[in-house]
Structure 1
């Protein structure tokens, strides 16, 4: 699967031819322009060249679906690339590469997207690698899929693709949000899917979010996964608190508990961490430092202390 992902990335960069919102989306105001007073640097050249290369190739791909009519908008690619070093007790060499590419196709009325990601579970987009449970086969989770929506504002979406250890799958999702008032809101989603080897599965997620008058955000996330091949449930409960320091810095505290319902409703891992996220140089370039503690059943719940160091770059319009 990784070879497929690398091949597609090379293809996309060759110019020759309402789920609970992830924490980085709350923190970000990712823009892909350089402020006028800032001189052009080598990383600006890289980011703009990469974005232009992606858009050029995507526009050619979108043109394959042209019927001669004028498209509503311009074909674009957007996403992020994240490099991490996450040393911890008993594993100081842990590294991680995360990416997400979304391609919009206006000739298909923006109802069909091409998605390429290192992780099909968007709810764990901020989680360190060691805390991503292997129970759902996430060791090699590179996924590529086509997503279809009945219309651009639809709460329903459907996917067909390949992922989770090179399996083919089809998936249907419903996602929506409800605002109780200006401070309280609920985000919820449900999914059903069928994998060629893991068989039928389903997910249910809810998130209660509170935004205070000083823009602090507190969120309680709950998610349940049903797995047909093992006939059990995996559950995850998480609380996050985001404290914005200024326009370029924020702190995010997280506490997560994850487990299974068989043989009993038992805990498999506990995680807590405090993340400092900053973009002092450019709006699209982020740095993160996150000290954390992780307890795993596979390690007899002996505390594992670690420090995650990340570099994250956005391109395109940003998510």
Structure 2
């Protein structure tokens, strides 16, 4: 008889809970799903479910993350911005439920968060998503593409909301075609946040730098260690400030964004779901190296935050350092920290 180790047993229990939860959410939707029924489906106790997940919301987010991480093959590299937007839209729209799918199952397939989360974090994550798509588009056209990216994501999100209430409604090919044509719209996009001239300059220093190891870059999906460049720690309610560091850093410079939260079980999973879902689509469309120099770490354990001296990271955290030759040479904290650190000469 094979005896499982404690770690193996925990992994098996977690997998059983996720499978049972996926069935429960598909049958009843998020609001009507019951943790007791999930435990019964998994042939476990209610306590076993809660030992792995603190509540129904955290479990729902974990199920959605599990769906995203299953992955699909990449598409051929697009030849133009219009082609790239159409290809991205096609990959995103594969999640749309079909006629005959149940409403609850369709919302699960759509990774719908309606009625699950609220507050300022989803809007901040949306700004980060627009930046990630825009950064890919800007490899072809150096003009700022954030407004275009946000418009495309808004259109796709709207298609998802409609499909959630009426599975099979709308034609995904029409939506993808519309996204292609959005590339031809002149949105007069510029980068000039009004508050940046009032951001205090970074404080120069010469502090020791011990970068954390075994971090996972959510953009490339590979392990990464912070190197010379700008390292920014942003709370979940400040993720929109990521663009300030990206725009302020010099050409070709490395920028690492570390996302932190004081609620890893729910807010942390929300950020992870949205980022991994988007990047799963983007990596199928854009070639490796598209986001060269930009790294995104979900710093649930606060390793990056601790390394730059943030003692108690939370949703409102905004702090940054510039690293040169393995030494922290500048520090900034508060609104505009990424911009201030990025402006320090490399």
Alignment TM-score, normalising by the size of structure 2: 0.24
> What TM-score comes out, normalization by structure 1 length?
0.25
Structure whose residues are more often helix by fraction: 2
Higher relative CO (CA 8 A, sep ≥ 6), structure 1 or 2?
2
- Which of structures 1 and 2 has the bigger CA Rg? 2
Higher strand share: 1
